[in-house]
């Protein structure tokens, strides 16, 4: 174990020095690993560790997403759905624990925790591109993956505003125009965003029983329908009695933007995002609106990104 970590540490230093780099929104530099952008610090180390050491169990459940695509919301919904027989609503852990603390990021958690010690079924998450997930998760087990995507314009705006809140003040500022240009060239954490989405989209077409592909916008329209489907996919369908008793609606209400943002834990609670960086839970909640990007992007920006998106998606059968 120690040797493997040492080897990865060494490999890590050598690798980082050779990889192409560009500017980040939240951190000064991103590095490009096998076509995808990551922060060169501990997260990247976690990705290498995860690939080397993680062994999937058939009962594992993964939530995967690009940044700012509805991860926090889906963490809450999946946690509440999977554990619904364990907890009463009045004393539900989500009332006192932030959604991110209910479902760890595997690539962060594995850096200083023993993921083998987590009881089954493990609920884990990652922002990694599909092909960067551990091999055993993708290939050799029955574990499930739920992916959520969001339209690139809203995702970009959410990402940029999130980064502006958390970008260390000693770094030079980065304008929305500059960040947008980077984003259009595919440069953003865990990006290129469209490749991220298409990677999971294609995998979900190949393995529909293993990968559930969700869209933030569609979930916003009809969360009850999607939570019902989610439970079926996860092998925990709601019974007729549960449906009659309004359990799905209760879960949707508990995890709603309004409810979560009203809780003290999501106003003042904290999350250890990566080792050495703790941020306030409130940063994960802003507006939760579909189409808010039109209030931030110019018509020219919208036209540019729409065009890039259209060209990239041509022939894939996928549309946002
Ligand atoms: P906005 O910045 O557009 O408001 P992630 O969780 O992947 O980081 O995504 C964050 C986005 O999801 C933010 O979008 C945030 O407001 C929104 N969000 C957080 N909790 C939500 C909830 N319970 N329901 C709907 N949207 C939510």
Residue-number span of the structural domain to which 112 is assigned: 2-313
Predicted confidence at residue 1, as pLDDT, reads: 64
Of 29-33, 44-48, 140-144, 289-293, where does mean pLDDT reach its minimum? 140-144
- Around ligand 1, the residues with Cβ closer than 6 Å are 65, 68-73, 154, 158, 255-257, 260, 284-288, 292
- Looking from the CA of residue 65, the nearest atom of ligand 1 is 7
- Looking from the CA of residue 66, the nearest atom of ligand 1 is 7
SS3 230: helix
Task: Give 184's pLDDT tier (boundaries 50, 70, 90).
Answer: very high
Tell me how many domains the chain contains. Answer: 1
Predicted confidence at residue 157, as pLDDT, reads: 98
Q: How much of the chain, in percent, has pLDDT values that exceed 90?
A: 87
Distance CA(281)–CA(268), nearest Å, equals: 7
- Name the helix (H) or strand (E) containing 196: helix 193-206
Task: Give 91's pLDDT tier (boundaries 50, 70, 90).
Answer: very high
Predicted confidence at residue 15, as pLDDT, reads: 86
Is the pLDDT confidence value at 272 over 90? no
According to DSSP, residue 70 is labeled S
Distance CA(115)–CA(214), nearest Å, equals: 26
* Protein residue with its CA nearest to atom 8 in ligand 1: 68
What mean pLDDT is predicted for residues 13-27?
92
Average pLDDT, the chain: 95
CA 118 to the chain's CA centroid: 20
Q: How much of the chain, in percent, has pLDDT values that exceed 70?
A: 100
Is 153 a domain residue? Answer: yes
Is 240 a domain residue? Answer: yes
Is 285 a domain residue? Answer: yes
What mean pLDDT is predicted for residues 149-164?
98
- Name the helix (H) or strand (E) containing 72: helix 71-82
Predicted confidence at residue 273, as pLDDT, reads: 84
Is the pLDDT confidence value at 153 over 80? yes
Distance CA(284)–CA(165), nearest Å, equals: 11
Is 320 a domain residue? Answer: no
- What is the pTM assigned to this prediction? 0.96
Q: Tell which residue, 252, 217, 215, has the closest CA to residue 231.
A: 252
Residue of 66, 157, 257 to test ligand 1 pocket, by largest number of atoms within 8 Å of CB: 257
Is 69 a domain residue? Answer: yes
Residue 273 dihedral angles phi and psi, to the nearest 5° = -65, -50
Nearby residues of 271 by Cβ (< 8 Å), 6 or more positions away: 98, 100, 101, 278, 279, 280, 281, 284
SS3 151: coil
Is 318 a domain residue? Answer: no
CA end-to-end span of the chain: 43
**Contact assessment for residue 54 and residue 45, using Cβ atoms and an 8 Å cutoff:** no
CATH code of residue 140: 3.40.50.300
DSSP string, 159-179: HHHHHHHHS-TTSPP--HHHH
Partners of 30 in the β-ladder: 22
Is the pLDDT confidence value at 232 over 90? yes
What mean pLDDT is predicted for residues 184-195?
97
* Protein residue with its CA nearest to atom 17 in ligand 1: 288
* Protein residue with its CA nearest to atom 20 in ligand 1: 73
What mean pLDDT is predicted for residues 213-235?
98
Is the pLDDT confidence value at 5 over 80? no
What mean pLDDT is predicted for residues 238-254?
98
Is 319 a domain residue? Answer: no
- Name the helix (H) or strand (E) containing 29: strand 29-33
Evaluate the CA torsion angle 240, 245, 251, 253 in order and state its sign: positive
Question: pLDDT tens digit string along 23-66?
Answer: 999 999 999 999 999 998 888 889 999 998 999 999 999 999 99
Question: pLDDT tens digit string along 97-131?
Answer: 999 999 999 999 999 899 999 999 999 999 999 99
């Amino acid at each position: 174990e120690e040797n493997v970590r040492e080897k990865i540490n060494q490999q890590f230093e050598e690798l980082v020095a050779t990889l192409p780099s560009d500017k980040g929104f939240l951190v000064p530099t991103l590095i490009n690993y096998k076509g995808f952008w990551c922060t060169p610090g501990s997260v990247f180390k976690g990705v290498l560790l995860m690939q080397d050491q993680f062994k999937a169990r058939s009962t594992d459940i993964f939530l995967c997403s690009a940044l700012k695509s509805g991860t926090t919301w889906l963490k809450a919904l999946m946690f509440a759905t999977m554990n619904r027989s364990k907890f009463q609503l009045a004393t539900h852990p989500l009332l006192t624990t932030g959604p991110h603390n209910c479902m760890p990021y595997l690539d962060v958690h594995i850096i200083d925790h023993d993921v083998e010690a987590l009881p089954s079924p493990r609920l884990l998450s990652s922002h990694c591109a599909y092909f960067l997930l551990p091999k055993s998760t993708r290939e050799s087990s029955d574990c499930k993956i739920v992916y959520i995507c969001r339209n690139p314009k809203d995702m970009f705006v959410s990402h940029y505003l999130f980064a502006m809140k958390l970008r260390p003040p000693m770094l030079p500022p980065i304008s929305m125009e500059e960040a947008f240009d980077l984003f259009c060239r595919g440069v953003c954490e865990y990006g290129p965003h469209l490749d991220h989405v298409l990677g999971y989209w294609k995998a979900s077409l190949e393995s529909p029983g293993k990968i559930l592909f969700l869209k933030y916008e569609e979930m916003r329209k009809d969360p009850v329908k999607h939570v019902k489907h989610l439970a079926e996919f996860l092998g925990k369908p709601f019974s007729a009695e549960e449906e009659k008793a309004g359990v799905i609606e209760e879960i949707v209400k508990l995890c709603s933007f309004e409810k979560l943002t009203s809780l003290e834990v999501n106003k003042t609670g904290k999350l250890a995002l990566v080792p050495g960086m703790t941020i306030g839970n409130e940063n994960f909640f802003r507006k939760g609106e579909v189409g808010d990007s039109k209030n931030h992007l110019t018509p020219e920006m919208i036209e540019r990104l729409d065009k890039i998106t259209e060209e990239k998606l041509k022939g894939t059968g996928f549309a946002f």
